[in-house]
Structure 1
Amino acid sequence: MLLAYFSRPGENYFNGGRRDLEVGNTEVLAQTISRLLRCDVYRIEAADPYPFSYDQTVERNVREQQGDARPVIAKPLPAIERYDTVLLGSPIWSVRAPMIMATFTEGLDFRGKTVVPFTTHAMSGLGTTARDYAASCPGASIAEGLALRGEQVGDAAAEVQAWLGRLGLLPSPGGTSS
């Protein structure tokens, strides 16, 4: 099992205001998930990092979405053939995952895989991730996703565990996950 995620620290939306985060919300959620699963973890990082400023990140994201951009990944993952299940985590920006997630999914072969989306958001839930991943991961099945408000990720262990349990992803005691 692979957990791949993109997260941006810096100035973030927080309960109607702004807050500086040393660790991005999606990374906090990915850490919670990885503590519960026995899986490999890969952090998707932009070759051109996103700005610390919330407003500058929003401006860049708008340009990238309008231009259908594919931001370059700093250290691309070469293949995923050894994994049956891939959890894909990201924030939701303007109702969809950042365009770097399209770079990631379009660069790999997801045929026969189960894709499990998880997101952090201010108000958009999973946004368009199920539709977008179905399009960019042809031949994959898209499982039930998890969407958490960014402000709630630090206290979400029980909700995450329940979600992973519903999906049958929690390892059995002494066992391993694929």
Structure 2
Amino acid sequence: MANILIVYYSRKGENYWNGGLKNISKGNTERVAEFIQNAVGGNLFEVDTAKPYSESYMTCIEEAKQELRTKARPEIKAYPENFENYDTIFVGYPNWWGTMPMCMFTLLEKYDLSGKTIIPFCTNEGSGMG
């Protein structure tokens, strides 16, 4: 049996939802991560930035755009323990400006992923296609 890690970043609070803004207690990516865990097992790890993004959705998307433009690597609060022991890693994130939030690059660039099975999953609500 493979050792499975489900690592994800998910936005809670004010989010774009069904054509408008809504406060949610659990982000879409977190919901999908939990669904995956229920289906395949494994350990969940939520990525959290050291400096929180704005609670305002509109401000947050501008922060994300600026991070992308500058290729920022925001500091994250913690890293998964024993990362090297996992064989299969699900990587979940919301689609921010056509890519992952930059904090996910911070996480993934820390590790040698050679020989690991990486399974990305992405959520999207902002453009109305998710």
Q: CA RMSD of the aligned region, Å? A: 1.6
Q: TM-score, normalised by structure 1?
A: 0.67
The structure whose RCO (Cα within 8 Å, separation 6+) is larger is: 2
How many residues matched? 126
Over 3 Å counting, the alpha-carbon distance change for 1:80 and 1:87 in structure 2 is same
Q: How does 1:56-71 map to 2 (within 5 A)?
A: 56-71=59-74
Task: State the shift of 1:77 in Å.
Answer: 2.7
CA distance in 2, matches of 1:68, 1:30: 26
Of 14, 19, 24, which residue of structure 2 is paired with 1:21?
24
What is the aligned partner in structure 1 of residue 45 from structure 2?
42
CA distance in 1, matches of 2:98, 2:82: 28
In 2, are the aligned partners of 1:7 and 1:91 still within 8 Å (CA)?
A: yes
- SS of the residue 1:73 aligns to: coil
Matches within 5 A, 1:111-130: 111-122=114-125
The one-letter amino acid of 1:104's match is L
Is residue 40 of structure 2 the alignment partner of residue 4 of structure 1?
no
TM-score when normalising by structure 2: 0.90
Show structure 1 runs of 5+ residues with no match: 125-147, 150-178
Structure 2 residue runs of 5 or longer lacking an equivalent are: none
Give the 5 Å matches for 1:94-173.
94-122=97-125, 149=130
Larger gyration radius, structure 1 or structure 2: 1
> Contact 1:5–1:88 at 8 Å: present in 2 too?
yes
